[in-house]
């Protein structure tokens, strides 16, 4: 519905006493939902910090990469969890300012790392690149891989095991994820995460048109990035 003059979700959230946060729960270090349903991750903790500073509690609502932009409109006040700013998404929702720069880079079994340094080396017949559907990874793979085989795997929580088990040769995903996953799985190597193929910024997804709420979130985020809040929250995940 169009916004009433002066009306903002900011007031609704405070009156409700609850910030509804959509997240996919499948993308460490940003968002994770374990088998018991417990949530963790940098952006989950950031959402709790945001809620605390609004004086309300956060409720995390499960979502998917395919539906994040639309889901969030109906069920959530904000969507978090390593969401990349894209111009396509920006047609349907607002973004906060960004908090991390990232980009696509390969992760592969370490013995293969030397073979998959460039997109040219990767886009060859016989190379199997695994991809999770619905996000920017899928877009990137489809745009750049014409000769290689794209293997779709719907569950991002088990996708790295597929690479480990040799069911795929590599995955191309954001460097923050390749760093985290290669720490968990020492047999997997992140290929030049400091020089990714793309430039991406991570930000929080917000309701389209609500500049009052967007402005408040941007002020909160700017403070959190400078007063040590973000550093404290991200340190356990990224060292
Ligand atoms: O779509 C995005 O914005 C993301 O960054 C999410 C995305 C993806 O690109 O598919 C990134 C890494 C994870 O492996 C899962 C999802």
pLDDT in the model for residue 5: 60
Torsion (CA) 122, 128, 134, 136 in degrees, nearest 10: -10
- Show contacts of 1-9: CB within 8 Å, 24+ apart: 2/209, 3/209, 3/210, 8/210, 8/212, 8/213, 9/77, 9/207, 9/210, 9/212, 9/213
Does residue 29 have a cis bond before it (omega within 30 degrees)?
Answer: yes
pLDDT in the model for residue 70: 86
Task: Name the residue at shortest CA distance from atom 1 of ligand 1.
Answer: 135
Closest approach atom of ligand 1 to CA 200: 5
Is the CB of 181 inside a 6 Å radius of any atom of ligand 1? no
Is the CB of 65 inside a 6 Å radius of any atom of ligand 1? yes
Q: What are the pLDDT digits (tens) for 61-92?
A: 999 998 999 876 679 999 999 999 999 999 99
pLDDT in the model for residue 4: 62
Q: Is the pLDDT of residue 49 over 80?
A: yes
- Which residues are registered as beta bridge partners of 104? 174
Q: How far, in Å, from the CA of 81 to the mean position of ligand 1?
A: 9
Is the CB of 159 inside a 6 Å radius of any atom of ligand 1? no
Q: How far, in Å, from the CA of 15 to the mean position of ligand 1?
A: 33
Locus of tokens 């290669």: 182
Task: Name the residue at shortest CA distance from atom 13 of ligand 1.
Answer: 27
Q: What are the pLDDT digits (tens) for 120-165?
A: 999 999 999 999 999 999 999 999 999 999 999 999 999 999 999 9
> Nearest 5°: CA angle at 229, between 74 and 157?
55
**SS3 per-residue string spanning the chain:** CCCCCCCCHHHHHHHHCEEEEEECCEECCCEEECCCCCEECHHHHHHHHHHHHHCCEEEEEECCCCCHHHHHHHHCCEECCCCECCCCHHHCCEEEEEEEEECEEEEEEHHHHHHCCCHHHHCCCCCEEEECCCCHHHHHHHHHCCCCEEEECCCCCCHHHHHHCCCCCEEEEEHHHHHHHHHHCCCEEECCCCCCCCCEEEEEEECCCCHHHHHHHHHHHHHHHHCCHHHHHHHHHHC
Task: Name the residue at shortest CA distance from atom 10 of ligand 1.
Answer: 135
pLDDT in the model for residue 73: 66
Q: Label the pairing between strands 57-62 and 39-40.
A: unpaired
pLDDT in the model for residue 3: 53
Q: How far, in Å, from the CA of 173 to the mean position of ligand 1?
A: 7
Task: Name the residue at shortest CA distance from atom 15 of ligand 1.
Answer: 27
Q: What domains are defined for the chain?
A: 9-101+200-238 (3.40.190.10), 104-190 (3.40.190.10)
Q: In whole angstroms, what separates CA 59 from the centre of its chain? A: 18
Residue 76 phi, psi (nearest 5)? -135, 160
pLDDT in the model for residue 71: 79
Q: How many CB atoms lie within 10 A of CB 228?
A: 11
Q: Is the pLDDT of residue 8 over 90?
A: yes
Summarize the confidence of residues 44-52 as an average pLDDT: 98
pLDDT in the model for residue 135: 93
> Nearest 5°: CA angle at 72, between 68 and 76?
140
């Amino acid at each position: 519905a169009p916004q009433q003059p002066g009306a903002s979700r900011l007031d609704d959230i405070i009156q409700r006493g609850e910030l509804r946060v959509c997240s996919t729960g499948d993308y460490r270090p940003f968002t994770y939902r374990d088998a018991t349903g417990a949530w963790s991750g940098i952006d989950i903790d950031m959402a709790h910090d945001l809620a605390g500073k609004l004086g309300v509690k956060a409720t995390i609502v499960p979502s998917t990469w395919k539906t994040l932009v639309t889901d969030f409109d109906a069920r959530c006040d904000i969507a978090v969890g390593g969401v990349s700013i894209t111009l396509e998404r920006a047609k349907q929702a607002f973004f906060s300012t960004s908090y991390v720069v990232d980009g696509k880079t390969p992760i592969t079994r370490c013995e293969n790392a030397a073979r998959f340094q460039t997109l040219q080396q990767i886009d060859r017949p016989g190379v199997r690149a695994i991809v999770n559907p619905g996000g920017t990874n899928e877009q990137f793979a489809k745009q750049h891989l014409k000769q290689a085989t794209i293997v779709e795997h719907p569950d991002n929580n088990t996708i790295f095991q597929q690479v480990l088990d040799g069911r795929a040769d590599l995955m191309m995903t954001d460097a923050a994820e390749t760093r985290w996953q290669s720490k968990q799985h020492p047999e997997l190597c992140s290929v030049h995460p400091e020089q990714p193929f793309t430039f991406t910024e991570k930000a929080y997804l917000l309701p389209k048109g609500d500049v009052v709420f967007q402005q408040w979130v941007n002020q909160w985020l700017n403070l959190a990035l400078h007063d040590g809040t973000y550093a404290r929250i991200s340190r356990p995940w990224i060292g």
